[in-house]
Structure 1
Amino acid sequence: MSRSIRICSYLVLPLLYLLVNVKLAQLGESFPITIVTFLPALLLLFVERINIKKLMIALG
């Protein structure tokens, strides 16, 4: 069960990232770009609570 949730979160986060970027462009970049840049990584670490070693393995 946790594996399917992990795969689903890996698919949802890039889509969320694209949606946030599109919304940011529509708003005329009124929000800091740095928060939007690091938001997917922060969400990934918060939701799954994986350690840095697993993250490095996932990134290759």
Structure 2
Amino acid sequence: MRVIITGGSGLIGSALASQLASDKHEVIVLSRNPESISGLPDGVKAVKWDAKSAEGWAEF
């Protein structure tokens, strides 16, 4: 299953992303600044997005 998480760099979001990735889900984390995210598990994709528009994640 493809799962998209907003706030995936925070405490709860990062734990959720890790668990979903370990369960073999496709995980995409939306972030205003994906370059600053550290510690995401392998296979988790961080995507730049703007919460005020669909820019950056509409393709998903």
Shorter chain as normaliser: what TM range? Answer: under 0.3
Highest CA radius of gyration, 1 or 2? Answer: 1
Q: TM-score, normalised by structure 2?
A: 0.27
More strand by share: 2
More helix by share: 1
Q: TM-score, normalised by structure 1?
A: 0.27
